[in-house]
Amino acid sequence: MVAFELSTAESQSEDPSLLRGLNEEQQSRLTKLLDEYLVGLENGECLDADEIVSQNPDLGSVFHAYLEKLRALYGVAAGMQPTLDAPSVPLPADKQLGDFLLHREIGRGGMGVVYEASQQSLDRRVAIKLLPLASMLDSHQIARFKNEAHAAGLLQHPNIVPIHSVGSHQGVHYYAMQFVDGIALDAWVQERREEKMAEEIGNGSVASSGETRTESAEQKRDAWKQVIQWGIDIADALHVAHENGVVHRDVKPSNLMLDRSGKIWVTDFGLARCQTEMSLTRSGDVIGTMRYMSPEQARGQSALIDGRADEYSLAATLYECLTLRYAHEGDDAATILKRIDNEEVIPLHLLRADLPRDLGTVIAKAMSKNREDRYETANEFADDMKRVLRGEPTIARPPSIADRLVRLASKHRRVALAAALIVTLGLVGSAIANAKLATAKKASDENALRATRGELLARGALDRMGTRIAELLVDIPAADSVRRLLLLEM
């Protein structure tokens, strides 16, 4: 898709009659209609322009004028849609965009269309990205895009695709960057998935020799180290950007390029802020991006987004490269968002028992749902991955029992609250019962003490009385038998 800024003085100077007399509501409706028309073309559906005009007669002339502009600038025609069989769509030789001559389409998505092009003044090959049509009436957004692009263009790192220039031509906003001859990391992952599937089918139908299996195992034994080295390079690039105040916000396999020498490149740097604020009209792009979003990013908490959000996205990307499965499965944005927010990722060692246990701990730390539990900087993330490669102890530690309990309580808040209430009531009831038992025991002890004292007093009184009577009977001769009987009873 492409982007126009219909409200700027530049657009009006090119054709003042296009927007003259349109109010804010009409401009907004025009944006929506043009966007729906282009999305239909990308999906292989040619919307009837005459029918659209008949339903919006007040926008008829302006709508047709912009359709002509789209056809002139992009060769947009009914049914033009890249397919998996033909990902690159050749363009006419006269496709000129300022100083750039466009050759062929090399990528497409809700975030825009990318072309291979030549910069004529410097005679060099570049990649040109045209921005999507969404928000074409928002001049503030276009200005923000330019600022972000210029900031990203100042970044200097061997793994960041440099941005050469940012500009616009006849209302079309674009930026030119270094052309990387290679494939995106999502294509690399897809190739590994297909190889794994073919291998599983082959093992199930044809018995291969033990020697062949041994060679295959030896070749793949250390393949994970290359993935982690890519992760280290990406984390170093992210750290440089974060140190310069630029957060990528859209780290994912399709924004990471592998050139023919195996070097990893980070592209679309610093541009995701502008793009993610645009209305994403293609559900596939929403899902594809959301799979790698941090929880705070997926919830739209833009104030909380910092470099640690990029760490999360990088860890989710590495997880996919190592396991060949998404960290968060799901066919729609709502399901993925729920899993990002509530469900823990399957531990790495359960899917790849051959990998170091510390590697899974490092990835898990970078993918912590609470950003405070992640690495403070992307540099620390890179350092811990280096320790894994060297076989040294890592900063990341497996979660303790207390951590698991806290996480479990956070995940099941209602159950935790009910359990806490039950435990509290149990403790209160136990305290009351203990207090009653203590009171009863105290009363019992006091009664026993009084009984003992009474018994002693009674014995003393009886002894004294018997002794006294015996002494009195001594002087009476006839009372000897009575005196003896009294002493024996006593």
Q: Which CATH class is domain 183-409?
A: mainly alpha
Element (H, E) at 359: helix 357-366
Q: In the predicted model, is pLDDT for residue 164 greater than 70?
A: yes
Q: Virtual CA dihedral for 109, 114, 115, 121, nearest 10 degrees?
A: 160
CA distance 367 to 326: 13
**Stretch 411-432: mean pLDDT:** 78
pLDDT in tens, 364-374: 999 999 999 99
In the chain the first and final C-alpha atoms are separated, in Å, by 119
Residue positions annotated with a catalytic role? 250
Pairing mode, strands 256-259 and 182-184: antiparallel
The C-alpha atoms of residue 264 and residue 284 are separated, in whole angstroms, by 25
- Dihedral sign, CA of 61, 64, 66, 68? negative
Q: Using alpha carbons, list the distances in angstroms from residue 79 to 17, 34, 49.
A: 30, 16, 14
Predicted confidence band of residue 130 (pLDDT cuts 50, 70, 90): confident
pLDDT at 256: 95
Residue with tokens 């018994």: 455
Q: Both tokens of residue 402?
A: 């207390």
In percent, the amount of the chain with pLDDT more than 70 equals 73
Rg, the chain, Cα only: 40
pLDDT at residue 125, as a whole number: 94
Q: How far apart, in Å, are the Cα atoms of 91 and each of 72, 240, 384, 385, 459?
A: 12, 37, 46, 44, 124
| 2-16, 187-201, 223-237, 288-302: least confidently modelled range | 2-16
Q: How far is CA 168 from CA 3, 117, 175, 463, in A?
A: 10, 15, 8, 123
> Which segments of 131-184 does DSSP mark as H helices, in order?
139-153
Rounded to two decimals, the pTM is: 0.66
Burial of 110 (0-12, 13-18, 19+ CB in 10 A): buried
Q: What is the mean pLDDT of residues 241-261?
A: 92
Per-chain mean pLDDT for the chain: 77
Q: Give pLDDT tens digits for 443-474.
A: 888 888 888 888 888 888 877 777 777 777 77
* Most confident listed range (136-140, 175-179, 291-295, 384-388): 384-388
pLDDT for res 241 = 93
H or E segment at 133? none
Q: What is the pLDDT of residue 140?
A: 62
pLDDT-derived band of residue 350, with 50, 70 and 90 as boundaries?
very high
Packing angle of the helix pair 378-390, 307-323 (nearest 10 deg): 30
Report domain extents, the chain. 9-178, 183-409, 416-489
* Full DSSP string of 224-277: HHHHHHHHHHHHHHHHHHHHTT---S--SGGGEEEETTS-EEE-STTTHHHHHT
Q: Give 174's strand partners.
A: 130, 167
Q: pLDDT tens digits for 78-123?
A: 333 433 333 344 444 457 888 899 988 887 665 567 889 999 999 9
Task: Supply the pLDDT for residue 412.
Answer: 59
* Rounded CA separation 350/455 (Å): 76
Check whether 11 has a pLDDT greater than 70.
Answer: no
Whether pLDDT at 185 is above 80: yes
The arrangement of secondary structure in 9-178, i.e. its CATH architecture, is 2-Layer Sandwich (3.30)
DSSP, residue by residue, 95-112: -EETTEEEEEEEEEETTE
Q: How confident is the model at residue 385 (pLDDT cuts 50, 70, 90)?
A: very high
Count of helices and strands (H, E) across the chain? 19, 9
Which pLDDT belongs to residue 232? 98
Beta bridge partners of 101: 96, 118
Per-residue pLDDT band for 139 (boundaries 50, 70, 90) equals low
Q: What is the pLDDT, as a whole number, of residue 374?
A: 95
Phi, psi of 87 (to 5 degrees): -70, -25
Is 91 within 8 Å of 103 (Cβ atoms)?
yes
Average pLDDT of the segment spanning 405-416 = 59
* Residue 354 DSSP SS3: coil
Confidence of residue 165 (pLDDT cuts 50, 70, 90): confident
